[in-house]
A and B are shown apart, each in its own frame.
Chain A
Amino acid sequence: MSICPNCGASNQAGSTTCVQCGKLLEVIPDWLELLLARYGEPMPAFEGISVECVPSAAPTEPLGAQRALSDVVQPPTDVPPEDVELLSEVEKLRRSAKDQPAFVEAQPSEETSTSTVTSAAHKEIDDWLAELRALQEKTALNSAPTMPSEESALEPAQPASSESHPEQEISPSLELPGEPAPTKQPDTVPGETLAPSIEERLGVLVPPTDTAEGVPEEPAPEWLRELGLVQPEQPVAPSTGDSGRLSETLGPLPVAEASTTGELGESSSEEEIPDWLKRLIAISSQMPESPPPGEVAEPTQALVRGESETPPAAEPAPEEPLPDWLRELEAMQTTRLSTATPSEEEETIPPRSKEEDLTGVQEAVVPPSPGAEEVTTIPAAQGEEPSPTVGEEHPAEWLAELEELIERPPASQPTPPPAEEEVPDWLRELAAEKPEAMAEPQAPAVPEIPQPEPAELPQWVSQLRPTEAAAEVPPAEPAAAPLEEAVPTGGEDVIETLRASLGIPQVPDVEGAEMFREIVSEPLETALTPVPEEVEPTPRRNAVTVIIWALIFAAILLGIAILSLALLARVQELLGETAFQRFLNTPAAAGLVASLEQFRKPVTAIHQGDVVLFSIEYTPATAAEMQPLASVILRDLLERRARVLTVSLQPEGAPLAQRLLDEANDTYPYGQYTLNLGYLPGEAIGVRSLAYLRNRQVYASPDGVCQFLGECPGWRDIRGIEDVALFITVADSAESTRWWIEQLPVLSSGEPPMLAAVSAVALPTVRPYLTSAAAARSRLTGLIGGTIATAAYEIYTGKPGRALNMVAAQSAAHLGLVAVALAGIFAGIRTRTDHH
């Protein structure tokens, strides 16, 4: 959450404009946030200026000419209590900096409160800030930091920032590009006549403008160039007139600033590090040397962040005694560095979310007040000589540490608490008030990393987790172990931003990779475990089952035998031949009789000597059903003195046909009335091969001499298929019948009729060909099938045969099967009822 320095309204974090007054909210650059977070340094609370500073809230007067501490703007009414305390501390610091001429001079003569900011002040603030940005853009931030000599300007900033983040280390390596504020005063902003020039205030930020005019400039330190704060060999653009090019936020990223400052085109050859910055650097690098006088570390942070804030304060006076707060800071830093290990240094910063950082910072931030910015801002490091040596070494280390922080997130080691005697009261109190916002520093082992948003495993990773592990650990729970090495979620964005700004290649997701490796490296126990096949238990055929089935078999056979033997007179009377004959005379048998008459019609139309092609399309398997039918039809034909030629598309059909003809041989000699042409190979091809009927090989020579049809006496008049008067097929399957039905019309140009006598199985399938005869001139004109039809045919021809003997048994079998069917139906109903 950010507080508008103009109206004091709370705005959402990340918002750029105030929702109430519409003023632009400055955003702290991410790299600065990172630095501060790294070392536990909260955002300095500058009077009159919030963390997210509004340009319009910029002080109208240079920092160097800021009001005295006594004239510090009172904190606004809506400041939280802790902030009130910070403000009081700031006031104290200001008082101590009274002797800072630049600072004092920079102090406004009047105190203004937030509520009394006038529009003119706003405008002045805007102009001031714009100038500040212009200067900053024009002159690249020096890579050779110079510690501000005016430590007093940094004094107000120190306690505020320390209060807000007591646990955080003060960034020792905050390096501010800076140099003494230029002596030249810009005359662009009204209301600044009494204040040092913007250049002076920005002396620590920007190189002096006159450096481009011949003053030799020292080469920018490498660390500063790496930060992108300084563009090498680029002239410093004039400070005026480029305010419009300044970014809104005064360069959120050093790199961005470097790109913008590229327009300026002037490199900062001469870089001066303010004394206070040098001091900060010295503190961070653990150098025992005493910082140059006037160097203040804390203001350095503000200066780094201070593109959105007030310009640097007045030039720190050289050789100034260290303020108390700075001494405390040094002591803290010394203590911390002496106790912490190098690795711990990187891990001292408890991972906190960025929001927490900002929140914690902003809570300690003094609400903006127009007249207070000069107190808390960075003292202008004007006129200070840069210390290239210091600036080059310390920035490198600081940068190196920062890089290490990026590469290796801080471990879960807690930040060692500072010594009790070194922790200022305000810091202790602040820590006591907000224990929940900070990581537990006393946890020896794994710290409790407060994460508002615990890391959640991706769904695909969670699915890879073993079932037992998944049952134990909810997928939404963050993994505890990886958290030890986890990058703080709160600081991830900051780190990523800083990484991008520094041009450091992105670190691969080590956490995720390690987690994935753990998951996939788990033994595939479940996958490799052979799943026992669910073998259905084979039904044991025990003696009882065998006996039962044997009894059923015997019962069926016995029933058939009894019926066949006509032992049961009553059953015979009901179902026997006599009953069947009576049945045929009833209207119930009309359909059967009609089909039989339709079938016999062409047969009765046969004349003597007509050739009938009789195809036997069944095997011994179905001979029990088909043989009686074929026999009765053959007899019917022979009685008409027709000449019957038998053929078969089945290899076993030829001997069956021969058997059939042999049965009639007594009355109708074989070779005279009948002749077997045997087997026709190829199924449908065999039917078409009848085109060479005359050359067909006889199955059995009637006289032992003739081998072909055309050679046999009594058959030499047959030239071909066209001489056949009637086609009859006796088939046990519909397929063989269909071969004949389909191929015969092509074979014979005439229109001899065709009859089909099929088994009961094929009867329904062949029936459609019968009904189409009238419409499609199909050859099939008659169709009968089944034992019952055979029995009826036998009765009609007056020659009872085997079929008639089976009628009773057939009827009884049908009745028994219906009874079995009904039993099955009832069993199914009972089973379903039991289930329900």
Chain B
Amino acid sequence: MLAHLISVPIAIGVGLLVLASYFIADTRLDALANRLVYIASIVAAFALFLGLANLARFHLGRVRARCPERPYSFILLVALASTMALGFVGGGPNSRWVQCLFDNVLFPLQAALYSLLAFFIVTATYRAFRVRNVESALFVIFAIVVLLGQTSAGALLWEELPAIKDWIFDVPVLAGTRGILLGVALGTLATGIRVLLGVDRPYVDEAGRDKHVHLS
């Protein structure tokens, strides 16, 4: 309970200090805000370590529990340990072994994984392009126009296609994305204000979460 009484004022106080630097042009306030931000960046980086530790603990438990998928968990743990060993022993991410690991294991795996999306986009195109109503018709028409207008092949089919594509991006797409951004910004504002006011306390554990005062 005492910890909860301390954490809430910390969140509110720190947040208000950093937020004030947006509105008040003061060097000391800016300096204080920058220090707080620097401290938070280190804590955030350390939180990555905790995430990795949790990952390791999970898969280690699967190996110990002799789950059917324990071979894969074992591979994961081996890869994790090997990479960390190479990095800590080799002297950092710039070490030769780590770079080799990065270039020949991490890079091709991630690249191949994302290249799979092209196949699924083809199948999704065949299934999703069904003209049922006006909205779906707009979706289909605009997708086809943009696909053709993006490349020189569209210009070969119809020389106006690239211009139409540009108009699409300059007018309807701009309007749509701007409206989306406005909504996202308002949502972000509302969420942040709720946190700064202490209404939402995502940092409190499950027991303390019941004591929230929901103003909404």
Contact = CB atoms under 8 A, between A and B. Distances in A.
Tell me, yes or no, whether A and B come into direct contact in the complex with CB atoms closer than 8 A: yes
Given A681-B44, A699-B93, A788 B155 contact: no
B110 A655 contact: no
B93 A655 contact: yes
A682 B99 contact: no
Interface stretch (B55-63, B158-166, B196-204, B207-215): B158-166
Given A654-B93, A658-B94, A786 B150 contact: yes
B148 A818 contact: yes
Contact of B111 (A623, A655, A765): A623
B169 A764 contact: yes
Contact of A589 (B44, B99, B162, B181): B162
**Overall SS of chain A's interface:** helix
A823 interface: yes
Contacts of B121: 817
Contacts of B16: none
A681 B126 contact: no
Interface size bracket, B side: 35 or more
Contact of A821 (B93, B106, B126): B126
Contacts of B160: 588
Interface in B89-148: 93-94, 99, 102-103, 106-107, 110-111, 113-115, 118-119, 121-122, 125-132, 140, 143-144, 147-148
Interface string A148-190: 0000000000000000000000000000000000000000000
A700 B94 contact: yes
B153 interface: yes
Contacts of B152: 575, 579-580, 582-583, 807, 811
Nearest to A592: B162
Nearest to A789: B150
A814 B174 contact: no
Nearest to A680: B41
Nearest to A813: B118
A586 B159 contact: yes
Q: Which residue of B44, B129, B143 has the most chain A CB atoms within 10 A of its CB atom? A: B129
Given A553-B119, A700-B94, A768-B174, A824 B130 contact: yes
25 contacts: A552-B119, A574-B156, A582-B152, A586-B155, A589-B162, A619-B110, A620-B106, A620-B107, A621-B114, A623-B111, A624-B111, A652-B106, A655-B99, A685-B41, A688-B37, A746-B22, A765-B177, A765-B181, A768-B178, A771-B174, A807-B152, A814-B150, A824-B130, A825-B129, A828-B130
A579 B151 CA distance: 10
B42 interface: yes
Given A655-B99, A688-B34, A821-B126, A588 B40 contact: no
Given A591-B163, A681-B44, A811-B153, 9 more contacts: A591-B166, A620-B102, A624-B115, A651-B48, A685-B41, A768-B174, A820-B126, A821-B126, A821-B144
B38 interface: yes
Interface string A613-656: 00000011111100000000000000000000000000110110
A815 B153 CA distance: 7
A621 B111 contact: yes
Contacts of A801: none
A681 B48 contact: yes
Nearest to B25: A749
A827 interface: yes
Contacts of A827: 126
B45 interface: yes
Interface string A716-757: 000000000000000000000000000000100000000000
Contacts of A652: 102, 106
Given A655-B99, A691-B37, A699-B93, A620 B110 contact: yes
A821 B111 contact: no
B93 to A, nearest CB: 6
Q: Which residue of A654, A768, A823 has the most chain B CB atoms within 10 A of its CB atom? A: A768
Contacts of B163: 587-588, 590-591
A732 to B, nearest CB: 10
Contacts of B84: none
Contact of B151 (A587, A771, A811): A811
B93 A689 contact: no
Nearest to B102: A655
Contact of B169 (A623, A658, A767): A767
A818 B41 CA distance: 46
Q: Which residue of B111, B144, B147, B151 has the most chain A CB atoms within 10 A of its CB atom? A: B151
Nearest to B46: A681
A810 interface: yes
Contacts of B115: 624
A682 B45 contact: yes
Nearest to B44: A682
Given A685-B41, A688-B37, A810 B151 contact: yes
Given A556-B119, A699-B93, A818-B148, A767 B173 contact: yes
Interface size bracket, A side: 35 or more
B177 A828 contact: no
Contacts of A574: 153, 156
Given A807-B151, A815-B153, A823 B126 contact: yes
Given A588-B160, A654-B93, A658-B94, A689 B41 contact: yes
A423 B153 CA distance: 114
Interface in A648-683: 651-652, 654-655, 658-659, 680-682
Interface in A678-718: 680-682, 685-686, 688-689, 691-692, 699-700
B122 to A, nearest CB: 6
Contacts of B118: 556, 813
Interface string A794-834: 00000000000001001111110110111111011100000
A165 to B, nearest CB: 74
B37 A685 contact: yes
B21 interface: yes
Contacts of B34: 688-689, 691-692
A786 to B, nearest CB: 7
Interface string A565-605: 00000000011000110110011111110000000000000
Interface in A220-261: none
Contacts of B128: 824
Nearest to B126: A824
A586 to B, nearest CB: 7
A760 to B, nearest CB: 8
B38 A689 contact: yes
Given A624-B111, A682-B44, A685-B44, A764 B162 contact: no
A575 B153 contact: yes
Contacts of B153: 574-575, 811-812, 814-815
B126 to A, nearest CB: 4
A682 B41 contact: yes
B41 A686 contact: yes
A788 B41 contact: no
A621 B41 CA distance: 25
B155 A589 contact: yes
A688 B44 CA distance: 13
A778 B106 CA distance: 37
B109 to A, nearest CB: 8
- Leading 9 A-B pairs by shortest Cβ distance: A591-B166, A828-B130, A681-B45, A583-B152, A811-B153, A682-B44, A811-B151, A824-B129, A621-B114
Nearest to A580: B152
A556 B162 CA distance: 25
Nearest to B131: A825
A682 B46 CA distance: 10
A763 B169 CA distance: 9
A811 B151 CA distance: 6
A820 B143 CA distance: 12
A829 B132 CA distance: 9
Nearest to B151: A811
B38 A818 contact: no
Nearest to A586: B155
A457 B163 CA distance: 75
A675 to B, nearest CB: 13
